[in-house]
Amino acid sequence: MEKLIVAANWKLNKNPAETKLYFSEFLKLISKEDEQQFVFFPPAINLHVTAEALADSDINWGAQSVYAKDQGAFTGENSAQTLAEIGGSHVLIGHSERRQIFKQTDEDFAAQLKTVQDHDLVPMLCIGETLEQRESESTQDVLRHQLTVGLSQADWSKSIIIAYEPVWAIGTGKVATPELAEETHKFVKLVLKGMTEDEVPVLYGGSVKPENAGELGSQDSIDGFLVGGASLKPEVFAKITP
Ligand code: PGA
Per-residue model confidence as pLDDT tens digits over 162-193: 999 999 999 898 889 999 999 999 999 999 99
Reported pTM = 0.97
SS3 for 61? strand
Provide the 3-class DSSP secondary structure of residue 161.
strand
Residues known to be catalytic = 95, 165
Cα–ligand 1 centroid distance for 226 (angstroms)? 7
209 C-alpha vs ligand 1 centroid, how far in Å? 10
Protein residues with CB under 6 Å of any ligand 1 atom: 9, 165, 170-171, 205-208, 226-230
Detail the DSSP E strand segments found in 85-170: 90-93, 122-127, 161-164
Segment 46-91, tens digit of pLDDT: 999 999 999 999 999 999 999 999 999 999 999 999 999 999 999 9
Tell me which of 164, 165, 237 to substitute to probe ligand 1's pocket, judged by most ligand atoms within 8 Å of the beta carbon: 165
